Structure 1
Amino acid sequence: MFYRHHDVGNLSDTAALDPATIKASATVGKDIETPSEKQNPSVQDEKSTSRSMEATAYASGESEKTYMGKLKVWGYRDSRQPSTFKLFFLPIRLLFSFPGIGFGGLLVGGILAWYNVVGGSLALILGNPPYNFSANNIGLTYLASVVGVTVGCFLSGWMSDSLALFLARRNGGVMEPEQRLWTCLVALVMHPAGCLLYGVGASYHIHWFGVVFGLGLICVTLPMGSNLAFTYILDTYKEVAGEGLVSTILIRNMMGFAFGYAVVPMIENLGLRNAFILIAVLGEAVWCTAIMMIYVGKPLRRWTAHSYWNLIEHYGATAH
């Protein structure tokens, strides 16, 4: 979020500025046009754009700073701009005030958690009997992750945008942030299938290709979770999108640390099969929240709209 003074550049509200003076300042530096410039509309448009920018800068009282002035670490601060100390707590306030931001944090945190589980268990699975992969071969199995992430980027990028545009046309040209979330239906299938092939399959000593294929299925969902969560926050809370992403990252880091710290003890205590059955169930629960947000997201936005715009007015936030 960047504070923006809406009155800057508004000529009607600028004190002690005569319109005739503005007009004169815009025309005083008019260059003599050559015949080629008269015949070239692009040159004339460029000149008119330059003159209008100069007039706006003059009208708003802006002046070019000196070199030393640009090096200052302090400068003009509008009295209506909140202090940095107050902005420091804004992401925490957003987290507890708007359910959509909590949903985004849960989705991104779940994705990071599954990634940590896979990263902490791959060498444990393939480096021991019956597979006995070398370190080089274990590294090559991450090519399945590259393929899976590539497919996931396509699904959560181009396909998500195309689906949102299609649903917007059916909705009378109105696009809702929840329309992108329908692509999570793919993750509802991919995540449990990948966990069963990768973890449960390895516990039954299936062929190594099945384990690697399951790894690829899990990785398909990784970019889908982050992209859908971030775009939902950007579409819903444009004015505080930066602070909303900070709130999301706060949840993500806590969940990622918890699973990264506990993945090996979890597998040792529960066993490989039960551990990945648990991961499959937890992943389904996280992705089901995306399905739930498709139906309850808009009512929740309406319910929190009044408090949201009060907060925007209080902090002087604008969309950018």
Structure 2
Amino acid sequence: MTRPFILFAYPAVLWSSMVYALSVGWLIVLSEAVAEIYRNKESYNFSALATGLVYISPFVGGILGTVVAGKVSDIIVRWMARRNGGIYEPEFRLVMSAPIAICTAMGLMGFGWSAQEKEKWIVPTVFFGILSFGCTLGSTTSITFCVDSYRQYAGEALVTLNFSKNVLHGFVFSLFFVDWLHSDGAKTVFVALGGIHLACMLFSIPMYIYGKRARMWTVRKRLMEKF
């Protein structure tokens, strides 16, 4: 029972847990805001059916994100491995952190800004799709990096990632998000969330630089073997 929690001491798993929790969680958060924004009589006044059709945008964004996170990421990783003498390092996956940070933050900030400014419905809807694209990149990359770093602990690591997601958004954000949205408005809330995401993604830089050394440290400490 304790093994998934021991993995929080492994930097690669900790980074992956953070990115996975953010990537999945932002979509949950935005889904809570969709009905509040699109069905509001003072903004778009959508019907329940029209509000449901808004989710076509993140569906398309998610499909594109899956393609890019899989095929494009593999192409980049193979190219980097060739330049590294044919040796693959899991940290090569972290180059996807740049599009993850940019697309996700753009989607969050653009959605909140355009919704509060009452732009045409298509504008926040497109930003919803961009957010889904970035979040799909993030969730796929975090899982791949985590499993590539510690294949022997893959099962426990996935439990760790899901636990982080459930705590961050199933417990923390669900307590105050809707009230925060009502009190401060979509622009303030989603710009703040975009800033939080960018700040968290900055940890990708030291993870890329020191990730291999961190993995070697965990091998020497053999923390998982003690439980």
The answer, yes or no, to whether TM exceeds 0.5 is yes
Which protein has greater RCO, CA pairs closer than 8 Å, 6+ apart? 2
- 2:211 pairs with 297, 315, 320, which one? 297
Amino acid in the other structure paired with 1:101 = V
Amino acid in the other structure paired with 2:188 = N
For residues 138 and 117 of structure 2, the distance between their equivalents in structure 1, rounded to whole angstroms, comes to: 29
Cα distance per residue 1:8-42 (max 9 Å; x no partner): xxxxxxxxxxxxxxxxxxxxxxxxxxxxxxxxxxx
For the Cα contact (< 8 Å) 1:197–1:213, is it kept in 2? no
2:56 maps to 1:147: no
For the Cα contact (< 8 Å) 1:197–1:214, is it kept in 2? yes
- Matched with 2:3 is 90
- Matched with 1:170 is 83
2:129 maps to 1:216: yes
For residues 95 and 32 of structure 2, the distance between their equivalents in structure 1, rounded to whole angstroms, comes to: 30
For residues 91 and 119 of structure 2, the distance between their equivalents in structure 1, rounded to whole angstroms, comes to: 39
How far does residue 195 in structure 1 lie from its aligned partner after superposition? 1.9
- 1:132 pairs with 41, 45, 66, which one? 45
For residues 99 and 6 of structure 2, the distance between their equivalents in structure 1, rounded to whole angstroms, comes to: 33
- Matched with 1:101 is 13
Task: Give unpaired runs (5+ residues) of structure 1.
Answer: 1-87, 316-320
SS state at 1:304 partner = helix
- Matched with 2:199 is 285
SS state at 2:168 partner = helix
For the Cα contact (< 8 Å) 2:7–2:224, is it kept in 1? no
For the Cα contact (< 8 Å) 1:155–1:183, is it kept in 2? no
- Matched with 1:276 is 190
Q: Kindly name which structure, 1 or 2, has the bigger radius of gyration based on alpha carbons.
A: 1
How far does residue 262 in structure 1 lie from its aligned partner after superposition? 2.3
SS state at 2:86 partner = coil
For the Cα contact (< 8 Å) 2:58–2:128, is it kept in 1? yes
For the Cα contact (< 8 Å) 2:3–2:224, is it kept in 1? no
Aligned residues: 225
2:104 maps to 1:191: yes
- 2:24 pairs with 112, 117, 127, which one? 112
Cα distance per residue 1:265-300 (max 9 Å; x no partner): 111222211101111101112222233311121121
Cα distance per residue 1:166-207 (max 9 Å; x no partner): 100110000000101112211222122212321111111111
How far does residue 125 in structure 1 lie from its aligned partner after superposition? 0.8
Q: How does 1:222-261 map to 2 (within 5 A)?
A: 222-257=135-170, 258-261=172-175
Q: TM-score, normalised by structure 2?
A: 0.93
Q: TM-score, normalised by structure 1?
A: 0.67
2:178 maps to 1:264: yes
Structure 1 runs of 4+ off > 6 angstroms? Answer: none
Deviates more, 1:169-178 or 1:105-114: 105-114
Q: What's the % identity of the aligned pairs?
A: 27
